[in-house]
């Protein structure tokens, strides 16, 4: 029988532990497919973060270093400075990257560090049980915003891609979603582009992926997909914010 669909070599032969309807598995798979496509598996080093994405090393068939909460871009900087010819990427959630790790992500981007960051934005702290994240939508009920997030006191949901795109050091910044097959294809294309940027020494590349967290949103997986379409995408538009074509040189 002809095999038409197979596990990427960059993923281990294990099942994902993620909750039903969670998009981490899809995003893991896309990253693995891209690593396979670029044939860089044996020279790629992943940096996991704190939150649901910490288990990167359980699923990816590559070398992985765990980073403290929010520090993945700094850890990746250390790795990349030692091995300039290796492919180094971080995989971070919004609690990690957009809250405790804002300093590290901004300065790593601003240095134009030649790494790739995959930013999973599900508008909530997932692993700790659904607390408010900086990306939580106005009115969204979480365990720490029981009456819904209010801009008075809690501020507005932070748009990381838009912010980072203003920095000269960034070579590629895009926001994608994986809520429909068409969007999955676009996400794959953006993540491939981000890794290609690194392969071509173009500097810092960043892809934000809007992701569902049905468990903490207290929704069915179907309703979570609908929320991404109706609520998240209008506020967090899907687009390529920045794409350099010529590398910065002295």
Partner 1 sequence: MPIDAAHAKQGKAARAIALRAGLKCLKLIQQTLMNDSKKRLIKGNEAIAVAAIDAGCRYFFSYPITPQSDIPEYLSRHLPEVGGTFLQAESEIAAINMVLGASAAGARAMTSSSGPGISLKQEGISYMASDELPALIVNISRTGPGLGGIAASQGDYFQATKGGGHGDYRTIVLAPYSVQEMYDLTIKGFDLADKYRMPVMILADSVLGQMKEPVAMVGKKKSTAIKKDWALTGCEGRRPHVIKSLYLDGDKSIEHNWKLFKKYQKIQKNEVMCEIKDCIDADIILIAFGSAARIAKTSIEMAQEKGIKVGMLRPITLFPFPNQQIEDLSKDIKKILVVEQNTGQMVEDVLISVSKNAKVTFYGKPTGNALEAEEILGQIEKLKNKKGFNR
For the residues of the chain, what is the DSSP string, one character each? --------TTB-SS---PPTT-SHHHHHHHHHHHHHHTT-GGGEEEEE-SSGGGGHHHHBSSEEEE--TT-HHHHHHHHHHH-TTSEEEEEEEHHIIIIITHHHHHHHHHTT-S-EEEEEE-SSBTTTTSB--TTPPBT--BTTBTT-B-HHHH-PPP-HHHHHHTSTTEEEEEEEE-SSHHHHHHHHHHHHHHHHHHHTT--EEEEEEE---HHHHTS-HHHHHHHIIIIIHHHS--EEEEE-SS----
Question: In the set 11, 30, 54, 99, which binds partner 1 (CB under 8 A)?
Answer: 54
Binding footprint of partner 1, residue count (CB under 8 A): 34
62/232 with CB nearer partner 1: 62
- Residues between 59 and 98 that touch partner 1 (CB under 8 A): 60-68, 71, 74-83, 86
Question: In the set 7, 37, 107, 244, which binds partner 1 (CB under 8 A)?
Answer: 107
127 scored as a contact of partner 1 (CB under 8 A): no
11 scored as a contact of partner 1 (CB under 8 A): no
57 scored as a contact of partner 1 (CB under 8 A): yes
Binding mask 211-230 for partner 1 (x = CB under 8 A): --------------------
Supply the minimum distance, in Å, between the C-beta of residue 204 and partner 1.
14
166 scored as a contact of partner 1 (CB under 8 A): no
- Residues between 16 and 45 that touch partner 1 (CB under 8 A): 41-45
125/217 with CB nearer partner 1: 125
User: What does the binding site for partner 1 look like in residue numbers (CB under 8 A)?
Assistant: 41-45, 47-48, 54, 57, 60-68, 71, 74-83, 86, 103-104, 106-107
């Amino acid at each position: 029988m002809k095999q038409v669909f197979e596990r990427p070599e960059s993923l281990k032969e294990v099942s994902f532990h993620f909750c039903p309807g969670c998009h981490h598995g899809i995003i893991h798979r896309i990253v693995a497919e891209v690593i396979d496509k670029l044939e860089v598996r044996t020279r790629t080093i992943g940096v996991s973060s704190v939150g649901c994405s910490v288990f990167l090393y359980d699923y990816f068939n590559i070398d992985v270093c765990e980073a403290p909460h929010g520090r993945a871009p700094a850890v990746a900087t250390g790795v990349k400075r030692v091995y300039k010819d290796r492919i180094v990427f971080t995989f971070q959630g919004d609690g990690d990257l957009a809250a405790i790790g804002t300093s590290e992500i901004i300065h790593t981007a601003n240095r134009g560090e030649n790494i790739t960051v995959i930013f999973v934005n599900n508008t909530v702290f997932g692993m700790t049980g659904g607390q408010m994240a900086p990306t939580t939508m106005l009115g969204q009920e979480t365990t720490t915003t029981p009456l819904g997030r209010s801009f008075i006191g809690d501020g507005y949901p932070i748009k990381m891609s838009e912010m980072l795109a203003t920095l000269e050091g960034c070579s590629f910044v895009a926001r994608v979603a994986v809520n429909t097959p068409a969007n999955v294809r676009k996400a794959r294309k953006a993540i491939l582009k981000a890794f290609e940027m690194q392969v071509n020494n173009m500097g810092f590349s960043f892809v934000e992926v809007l992701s569902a967290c049905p468990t903490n949103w207290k929704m069915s997986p179907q309703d979570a997909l609908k929320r991404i379409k109706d609520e998240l995408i209008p506020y967090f538009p899907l687009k390529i914010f920045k794409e350099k074509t010529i590398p910065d040189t002295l």
